[in-house]
Amino acid sequence: MNVTRGKSRAAVRSSAQPKRSDLVAEEIKRLMTAKNLLPGDRLPRETELQEMFNVSKSTVREALKSLEVQGLIRVTTGPSGGGMAVEVPLDRAFQLMQNYLFFKEVSIDDIYQARKLLEPELAASAVPHLTEAQFDALERNIDECDPLRDPEADQFSQRQEDMTFHDILAAASPNPFLRFVCEMINQMLRQLTVYDNQMPMREQQHFGANNVEFHRRLVAAARARDPDTVRTLMREHMQDAQVSVRRLHGRLHGRLILDSEMSRRAVAARARRLARRAGRDDG
């Protein structure tokens, strides 16, 4: 009993007294905020940070490593090395979200419940801000995902690529938080959704054709700068997509995608896109 109480008191002291390197990491964050550092801006050199916070070189390096793991900086070595502010990559944010959800049971219906609320507003907010380049990207994506253009195409890969259409809309939204949440949902569906392989090809193609038809109508309404119609169409699209996913027995596969697996999938998806484009160019 005494040992247990001793361990509990030690744990309390440990939680109440953070490591010095963690305190320095927090101070560096404050410094980055005070100096309004942007991605690409450099932090003070290690020796300057040592003097600034009156700590050892090892403490500064541990603090910088902690910030690098968080995705806020990149650390380089050498005479001109040190910390540089970077934007947290979406993949890193997705990994952290997966860690948070690791012990929670999240179904694909849970995700679509959120999509049906958020995607219509995101799409409507993007309408006034879409550029001609983004319209071109949306239309290219529709062509790439159209099952009628290539009946032999990998339907699963096309459904993953459908998410890119929504990412392009998200990029045009002026609301950074709404954009981030929707991009996280898109990434979750792209990385974790699996379908019943026994479903007939015609059912899978029907899902893809419905998506393409909604996407074409969305682009037409967005080109007309009609956010109300875009909002209504997106609401219908999300409802239809949820029904299709249920019909195809779509589900979330596991609770964790490792960094190496995400990298492998990204490379494979990029190779598939390049192969499709090369095939169109040859034709």
What pLDDT was estimated at residue 274? Answer: 46
Q: pLDDT band at residue 179, thresholds of 50, 70 and 90?
A: very high
4 domain residue, yes or no? no
Q: Are residues 185 and 263 in the same domain?
A: yes
Are 64 and 141 within one domain?
no
What local confidence, expressed as pLDDT, does residue 121 receive?
A: 98
pLDDT score recorded for residue 99: 77
CB–CB of 102/255 below 8 Å?
Answer: yes
More confident call, 121 vs 269? 121
| Residue 5, domain member (yes or no) | no
Global model pTM greater than 0.75: no
Average pLDDT over residues 244-272: 63
Token reading at 102: 């690791």
Q: Which of 43, 58, 85 is the last residue of a domain?
A: 85
235-240: long-range contacts at Cβ-Cβ below 8 A with a sequence spacing of 24 or more? Answer: 235/116, 235/119, 235/120, 237/119, 237/211, 238/112, 238/115, 238/116, 238/119, 238/120, 239/116, 240/210, 240/214
Least confident of 28-37, 149-158, 274-283: 274-283
Instruction: Determine the pLDDT at residue 176.
Output: 94
Higher pLDDT, 258 or 166: 166
Q: Where a domain ends, among 55, 85, 115?
A: 85
Provide the pLDDT confidence category of residue 3 given band limits of 50, 70 and 90.
very low
> Do 136 and 243 reside in the same domain of the chain?
yes
Looking at the fold, whether 217 and 95 belong to one and the same domain comes out as: yes
Q: What is the average per-residue pLDDT within 72-94?
A: 84
**Which range marks the domain in which residue 255 is found?**
90-282
- Looking up tokens 């995700």, which residue turns up? 111
Rounded CA separation 277/158 (Å): 13
Query: 258 lies in a domain?
Result: yes
pLDDT for the residue numbered 248: 87
Residues 148 and 205 in one domain: yes
One domain for residues 161 and 133:
yes
pLDDT at position 15, please? 53
Give yes or no for residue 35 having a pLDDT over 70: yes
- Angstrom CA distances, 67 to 16, 37, 178, stand at 21, 14, 25
Q: What is the residue-averaged pLDDT of the chain?
A: 84
Residue 9 lies in a domain: no
Query: How far is residue 282's CA from residue 214's CA, in Å, rounded to a whole number?
Result: 29
> What's the pLDDT score for residue 2?
44
We report the CATH number of the domain holding residue 219 as: 1.20.120.530
Out of 17-21, 88-92, 195-199, the most confident range is 17-21
Rounded Cα gap, residues 170 and 120, in angstroms: 11
* Signed CA dihedral, 8, 13, 18, 20: sign only: negative
Residue 93 pLDDT > 90: no
Among residues 59, 85, 111, the one where a domain terminates is 85
Model confidence band, residue 165 (pLDDT cutoffs 50, 70, 90): very high
What's the pLDDT tens digit per position in 144-164?
999 988 877 888 888 889 999
7 occurs within a structural domain: no
Mean per-residue pLDDT for 24-43?
A: 94
Verify that 119 and 200 share a domain, yes or no: yes
% residues pLDDT > 90 (the chain): 57
Residue 54 and residue 161 in one domain: no
Is 182 found in the same domain as 119?
A: yes
- pLDDT number for residue 1: 41
pLDDT at 265: 53
Query: Residue 36 is part of a domain; what is its CATH number?
Result: 1.10.10.10
- Structurally, the chain folds into a number of domains equal to 2
